[in-house]
Structure 1
């Protein structure tokens, strides 16, 4: 049974957060080197998969052990925290882009990231923002994650019976969402959420399954040479498709979009399989590989351990970056400074949070055999402190 913290999970979550930050500043030079340029899936799928994996430890063990109400309330409390962060990020996004309009005289900024509704139908938009219906561009992953946590007790209930039952139900919901266009409404606009929670729950559920298997068996999926060869082959096919622009070949297969397409809203099969292939490859890296020996002090592992505050800061910095980058071509020096400074600030935040957690947990050891005298000003309360060692501030 494996119950200790796997720093590889934190490491890859930190890598995903970094790539999300880079991708959230469109038009910068460094977005050409993130994972989405080398395969069908991107950092969002990896982040949600790892969120499901971590949930097996954070909530799943307690739920399966019989504390179902406590585990469910913890998950829903976390969902409430995500909702508050989403509201904060949305308000900050509005402020940043309105500042950009005033500072640079670029009124067209209000016609980006879904801000048109802010101008055209502000009353309806405010209702949409509060109910998570209207989500600004690049500020739309937390609502989906919130839904995952609200749905988590149902997944854990099925997992407690059998993991295969949970996974089967999740696959069924994924198929129904794609087949019948089931999605959360994007009020006041037509259509649904960009990250359809009824589709993305499968990515989360697969991560949850892998987490439970690692807890129980010590390994999420056993290593098989033929399975590794299959994963590497599929990842290479995805790489060739992206780098050699072989989209026409996929289109010639004349298959449904969910089987041969690359839809992100409904998590089409090619994207899902690519995520699983990449995760399998790196999860089964050689024991001597750097990817198998991640220390607690690794910078990306620190990012991953503090994913919510780091994500929030990264989103705010990326929104500022969008305003500063708006309408400008790629420039090596400017883009490097923009991306580099943003990443440095996120690493600094993670390092500060590490220090702060240690400071809160530290216990000052009193000098052996010495006690501080009780000051006379304690008056009548002096006997309650008599004989106790008083910590020095």
Structure 2
């Protein structure tokens, strides 16, 4: 039996996680306003993977600290319930975002008298098949365009207790073997969750994307144990850099047709995002390896808590939800308009500024809340025992 050593050595907060999570959130916002010039400058234009892979990897990494250590140190039930509660929170946020999106596009259609707004993002199903579509939304089977990430994340969080049970029994590499097997099965058979009422499967297949999450989870658990999942080696570091450079050239010069000349199954040679194929996985792994083992003195070793991207990354869920609404508002404002560099720049700049403003507010509010808790006086003991209070031995655990 391989045990997972989870100690205190990895308890210090790594601000690089918040930094890259903030970077991913801002990139997602820009990419969700299609057609603007600025989307051509985001990370997806320089390699095979994009901000979605980074976001899910970091979610797995953070889950190692939020749930993994507790699970592996004997509180498996509590950690599992916390993960399930988080999945429930994400479900409610997703449903809320879906309804807000439908309302925004409906208001745009009523205000302008242009019914084309109701044909965007899959909203048309609410008009043509309202009952089936509402059932699909409630069961996560009908997902509007640009609102696909949270449903996938919900399903993966439901898988998390099983992942951690595998770690406890077989270690992190046992988890990766099982995860890779499921990823391969999904990619070779097309196994996916269905859409309803529209045809096809989920845009982010959770049975494939769990591999990205599992890699992040394994990396987080390794760090919590005071080590790296893959130790630094100069040859491996050079290989990772070469792969990143070649993927940049591939994307920059639009060499996608070359993939048809490479023999091998779709999962190993394609660039599909739904099944997160091998070239995308390898690009993410190379990126993470290069940044994790960045040379001492590198700017990526000196990221502090006050960095604006760290600030945004520390409040990922409210920032993500707000960014989603802002990107859809930007889509509405520029829909059916001629491209305009100044207008698009104003939209993106305003959205980024609002992201940062919200992060500042949330950071201030967190500080105020923690200060209030610290200064709150302890409740006075009653002079007479409460007849309905439980015995001390049955009180809540701290």
TM-score if structure 1 supplies the norm length?
Answer: 0.91
Task: Answer whether contact 1:29 1:331 (CA < 8 A) is retained.
Answer: no
Match among 290, 301, 310 for residue 281 of structure 1: 290
In structure 2, the partner of 1:351 is 360
The Cα of 1:365 is off from its aligned counterpart by: 9.4
Aligned to 1:302: 311
Contact 1:114 1:137 in 2 (8 A): yes
C-alpha deviation, 1:163, in angstroms: 1.2
- Residue pairs, 1:1-16, within 5 angstroms: 1-16=9-24
Contact 2:179 2:210 in 1 (8 A): yes
Q: How many residues in Structure 1 have an aligned counterpart in Structure 2? A: 369
Distance 2:159 2:243 in 1: 31
Indicate the residue corresponding to 2:393 in structure 1: none
Residues 175-205 of structure 1 deviation map (CA, whole Å, 9 limit, x = unaligned) = 1111221111111122111000000000000
- What secondary structure does 1:148 align onto? helix
SS at match of 1:362: helix
Counterpart position of 2:145: 137
2-structure distance, mates of 1:169, 1:247: 31
User: Looking at CA atoms only, which structure, 1 or 2, has the larger radius of gyration?
Assistant: 1
Picking from 156, 165, 174, the partner of 1:157 is 165
Q: Which deviates more from structure 2 when the two are superposed, residues 241-250 or residues 25-34?
A: 241-250
The equivalent position to 1:168 in structure 2, one of 151, 168, 177, is: 177
**Structure 2 counterparts to residues 118-267 of structure 1, below 5 A:** 118-161=126-169, 162-267=171-276
1:320 and 1:245 map into 2 onto residues whose CA distance is 31
Alpha-carbon separation, structure 1, partners of 2:302 and 2:175? 32
Shift of 1:215: 1.0
User: 5+ residue gaps in structure 2?
Assistant: 1-8, 376-381, 384-398
Query: Structure 1 residue 327: deviation in Å?
Result: 2.5
Runs (4 or more) in structure 1 with deviation over 4 Å come to 363-366
Matches within 5 A, 1:55-74: 55-74=63-82
**Residues in 2 aligned to 1:61 and 1:2: alpha-carbon distance in whole angstroms:** 10
Is the 1:27–1:325 Cα contact (8 Å) retained in structure 2?
no
Name the CA shift for 1:202/1:123 in 2 (closer, same or farther; >3 Å): same
Relative to structure 1, is the Cα distance of residues 365 and 58 closer, same or farther in structure 2, using a 3 angstrom cutoff?
Answer: closer
Higher mean C-alpha displacement, 309-318 vs 290-299? 290-299
Post-superposition offset of 1:105: 2.9
d(CA) in 1 for partners of 2:295 and 2:343? Answer: 38
Q: Distance in 2 between matches of 1:133 and 1:313?
A: 23
Q: Give the drift of 1:253.
A: 1.1
Which runs of structure 2 are paired with 1:26-65 in the superposition (5 Å)? 26-65=34-73
Per-residue CA deviations over 1:227-283 (Å, capped at 9, x if unaligned) read: 111111111111111111111222211322211111100111111111111111111
CA distance in 1, matches of 2:280, 2:227: 27
Task: Please point out which of 77, 83, 88 is paired with 1:80.
Answer: 88
**Structure 1: distance between partners of 2:298 and 2:228:** 17
Alignment RMSD (CA, Å): 1.6
C-alpha distance in 2, partners of 1:116/1:258? Answer: 33
TM-score normalised by the chain length of structure 2: 0.90
SS at match of 2:225: helix
Maintained 8 Å contact 1:21/1:318: yes
Moved more, 99-108 or 276-285: 99-108
Unaligned runs of 5+ in 1: 367-380, 383-393
CA change 1:364–1:244 in 2 (3 A) is closer
- In the alignment, which residue of structure 1 is the partner of 2:386? none
Q: Displacement of 1:363 after TM fit?
A: 5.2
Residues 307-346 of structure 1: pairs in structure 2 closer than 5 A:
307-346=316-355
